[in-house]
A and B are shown apart, each in its own frame.
Chain A
């Protein structure tokens, strides 16, 4: 028998953040100019915007969808939507990356929700489940796994670590799985009011900690 040990790698929690090539806050005005050019039909501007944010969108899409091909399709559709809807972007109401993230998450969550429906169809085939020892759970993070990078990424990681584990879990379920308050409450077997408060306080805490690091100040 090949088995020498059995262990399951724990799912990445949102605390396991790694820095990436996110642009500096000074890029905000530049982003607005790019989107103006995209509105005017300049595909080179779209290429620049893509080069700047594709990795960020891909990371989110992959984290949500779990499959490279799906994540790439989501990135493609996100930037295609940006091309079509650039005229509807309001720079004074938020940053380009916030706008892109909103579209990217929406597409990725739509995909996993459609998968969820598919998964129900095969649930009946999953009766032969094992019994016994180690159950899955949310294991501890390995701090050395986190690499210090840009100031922004480090601050995001620090802000997430400042949340309590239940707050982080609630945010993760909402952000990466697209669960509603009531679905989170059901999943965690917690009262709905508790979950709502947890999500609200966690987001308030993140907002307070991260305001200086917005891609640009929301007005």
Chain B
């Protein structure tokens, strides 16, 4: 079998398993894949490697609410799929019922699948709606400030150094953060924002982390500092945040125009 697989196709197996091929390459590879048990085995092995790379990472579990939501979602889909209560039937209907039973079983399975899909989609829609509402809140935080909006640029040094913009609605004392080129804080770690008033004592604020692409967005959040602040800084802290900052400071910026 191996003699029938062009080397140029075989060389794509690893990239295919990683999802690193162009659409054209993927199509060409899948054509060969469908006809080659050897290629199928090779791709399966690369997928096992992917799984091992996943299993080798940190083992912190998601919060218990995730499992609760999963099981609630599943229970809802099962409840939706339950057949209606049995009704009284008449003898002459028995033959007709028997004749349609096989069809009904098949249709019932399909109906349960559709209802399950519908429940899932409703849940996804609710999740999207919640995200949209949060996004609107963020937008309002920026737009309703009018003249009372300060933008703090938090920086460090370096040509490709990370940075962060901190939008502060002084009227509502609410903020929005947007970081860029900021590497993820690492396992068990998080970034934390500190607000430093005139007296110089840092007040802990939100904790956040960045995505693999270096971006982080913290949508509208309330600032827990009265009387404003002059400096904003970011440090790396243990997950959950700290009450006092851990040196060194990663990013820092001054509020201008106050």
Chain A interface (Cβ within 8 Å of chain B)? 1-12, 14, 16-22, 41, 43, 46-47, 50-51, 54-60, 62-68, 70-73, 75-77, 79-80, 83-84, 93-95, 97-98, 100-102, 104-106, 109, 112, 115-116, 119, 122, 125-126, 128-136, 152-153, 156-157, 160, 171, 174-182, 184, 196, 199-200, 202-204, 206-207, 210-211, 213-215, 218-219
Q: Is B55 an interface residue (CB 8 A)?
A: yes
Distance of A18 Cα from B41 Cα, bound (Å): 28
Which residues from A are CB-within-8-Å of B162?
A: 8, 136
Distance of A95 Cα from B52 Cα, bound (Å): 11
Determine whether the beta carbon of B186 is less than 8 Å from that of A9: yes
Sample of 14 A–B contacts (CB below 8 Å) = A2-B249, A5-B248, A11-B212, A43-B75, A55-B61, A59-B57, A76-B69, A83-B77, A98-B44, A98-B48, A130-B156, A131-B159, A136-B181, A178-B19
Determine whether the beta carbon of A56 is less than 8 Å from that of B212: no
Q: Is B175 an interface residue (CB 8 A)?
A: no
Determine whether the beta carbon of B54 is less than 8 Å from that of A56: yes
Which residues from B are CB-within-8-Å of A202?
A: 14
Number of interface residues of B (CB under 8 A): 88
Distance of A43 Cα from B209 Cα, bound (Å): 33
Cβ 8 A contact of A12, one of B116, B186, B247? B186
Determine whether the beta carbon of B67 is less than 8 Å from that of A130: no
Which residues from A are CB-within-8-Å of B75?
A: 43
Indicate the member of B56, B180, B189 with the most A CB atoms within 10 Å.
B56
Distance of A133 Cα from B155 Cα, bound (Å): 12
With A98-B50, A156-B56 known as contacts, the answer to whether A133 contacts B158 (CB < 8 A) is yes
In angstroms, how far is the closest chain B Cβ from the Cβ of A134? 5
Determine whether the beta carbon of A200 is less than 8 Å from that of B11: yes
Which residues from A are CB-within-8-Å of B184?
A: 11-12, 63, 66
Main secondary structure of the interface of B (DSSP, over half): mixed
Nearest-neighbor residue (CB-CB) of B215 within chain A: A119
In angstroms, how far is the closest chain A Cβ from the Cβ of B109? 10
Distance of A106 Cα from B247 Cα, bound (Å): 37
B 63-87 contacts with A by CB, 8 A: 63, 65-67, 69-71, 73-75, 77-78
Determine whether the beta carbon of B52 is less than 8 Å from that of A130: no
In angstroms, how far is the closest chain A Cβ from the Cβ of B52? 5
In angstroms, how far is the closest chain A Cβ from the Cβ of B241? 12
Determine whether the beta carbon of A17 is less than 8 Å from that of B249: no
Distance of A214 Cα from B52 Cα, bound (Å): 7
In angstroms, how far is the closest chain B Cβ from the Cβ of A186? 13
Q: Is B39 an interface residue (CB 8 A)?
A: no
Determine whether the beta carbon of B231 is less than 8 Å from that of A2: yes
Instruction: Please give me the 7 A-B residue pairs with the lowest Cβ-Cβ distance, nearest first.
Output: A20-B59, A132-B157, A66-B211, A11-B183, A203-B14, A156-B56, A218-B44
In angstroms, how far is the closest chain B Cβ from the Cβ of A163? 12
Nearest-neighbor residue (CB-CB) of A73 within chain B: B127
Which residues from A are CB-within-8-Å of B66?
A: 54, 72, 75-76
Which residues from B are CB-within-8-Å of A71?
A: 62
Nearest-neighbor residue (CB-CB) of B120 within chain A: A80
